[in-house]
C-alpha cells in the first residue's frame, strides 16, 4: 500500500520520516535487517538468516508497495533506515478477511525515543483504512518494552504459543498473543 509520508520529531530532537517502502530501499533494507536481527533475541530471525539478494528484496518491496491490503513502513533518519513495521492480512478467505497481523522492529540506536509509538499510531490508522477490523501480533515472553508499548496502544493478551522460539543454545521462549480491535 502506498500512503502519505509523515515527518515526526523523536524525543531526542532527531527528525524522522515515516514512508512506504520503495524497491530502491532494497540494499538499505538488507543491511538494516542484518543489524536488527543481530541486536535482539526478540525477533524471529538470526542475522545469518538474512540472505536475500538485492533483486529478491526489490521484488518483495515492490509487491508490498503495490498490495492494497499490505503495508510496509520504514522510518528514515538522516537517510538511513532506523526501523520498519508491517501489516499483512491473515488470508483471502471471507472468514478471515477482517484480520491482519502486525510486526515492528527498530535499530537499538533509535529505541526509547518515541519512534515505536509514532509508527504504531500511524500503522493502526492505516490498518483501519485498509478495511481490517482487528490487528494481531505475537511478542516474545520477556520483551517488556514491546509488551508495554502494545498494551499502551490498546492490545489485549489472548494466549500463549508455548516454546514458540528455540535459540541456538537450546533454550526456548514462549510468545504471547495479543489482539486489538480497530
Ligand atoms: C519494541 C520497540 C518497537 C518499541 O519501540 P520504541 O520506539 O523503543 O518505543 P517507544 O519509545 O515509543 O515507547 C517505549 C515505551 O516502553 C517503555 N519501556 C522502555 N523499556 C521498558 C521496559 N524494560 N519495561 C517496560 N516498559 C519499558 C518506555 O517507558 C515507553 O513507555 P511510555 O511511552 O509509556 O513512556 C523497539 O524498542 C524495538 O524495536 N525493539 C527491538 C525489537 C523488538 O523487540 N521488536 C518487537 C518484537 S514483538
**pLDDT tens-digit series, residues 127-155:** 999 999 999 999 999 999 999 999 999 99
List average pLDDT for each run of 10 residues in the chain, which is 182 residues long: 97 98 98 97 97 97 96 98 98 97 98 98 98 98 98 98 98 98 98
Please tell me whether residue 159 adopts helix, strand or coil conformation: strand
CATH number at residue 23: 3.40.630.30
Q: Which atom of ligand 1 is nearest to the CA of 115?
A: 7
The H-or-E segment that residue 60 falls in is helix 54-66
Among the listed residues 80, 146, 139, 140, the one whose alpha carbon sits nearest the alpha carbon of residue 117: 146
Alpha-carbon span 139 to 137, nearest angstrom: 7
Task: Note whether residue 63 is domain-resident.
Answer: yes
Q: State the Cα–Cα distance between residues 118 and 176, nearest whole angstrom.
A: 22
Domain count, the chain: 1
| Residue 129 belongs to some domain of the structure | yes
Per-residue pLDDT, 94: 97
Ligand 1 centroid, distance to 128 Cα (angstroms) = 23
Residues with CB under 6 A from ligand 1: 40, 42-43, 104-106, 111-117, 139, 143-146, 148-149, 152
Return the DSSP state at 94: G
pTM summary value = 0.97
Q: What is the pLDDT of residue 180?
A: 98
Amino acid at each position: 500500500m502506498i500512503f502519505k509520508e509523515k515527518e515526526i520529531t523523536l524525543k531526542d530532537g532527531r527528525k524522522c520520516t515515516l514512508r512506504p517502502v520503495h524497491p530502491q530501499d532494497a540494499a538499505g533494507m538488507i543491511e538494516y535487517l542484518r543489524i536488527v536481527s543481530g541486536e535482539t533475541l526478540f525477533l524471529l530471525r538470526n542475522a545469518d538468516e538474512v540472505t536475500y539478494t538485492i533483486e529478491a528484496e526489490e521484488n518483495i518491496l515492490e509487491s508490498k508497495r503495490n498490495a492494497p491490503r499490505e503495508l510496509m513502513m520504514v522510518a528514515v533518519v538522516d537517510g538511513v533506515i532506523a526501523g520498519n513495521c508491517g501489516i499483512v492480512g491473515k488470508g483471502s478467505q471471507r472468514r478471515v478477511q477482517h484480520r491482519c497481523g502486525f510486526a515492528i522492529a527498530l535499530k537499538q540506536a533509535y529505541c526509547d525515543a518515541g519512534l515505536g509509538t509514532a509508527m504504531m499510531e500511524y500503522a493502526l490508522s492505516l490498518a483501519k483504512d485498509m478495511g481490517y477490523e482487528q490487528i494481531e501480533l505475537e511478542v516474545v515472553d520477556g520483551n517488556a518494552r514491546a509488551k508495554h508499548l502494545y498494551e499502551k496502544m490498546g492490545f489485549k493478551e489472548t494466549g500463549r504459543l508455548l516454546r514458540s522460539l528455540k535459540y541456538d543454545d537450546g533454550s526456548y521462549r514462549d510468545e504471547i498473543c495479543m489482539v486489538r480491535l480497530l
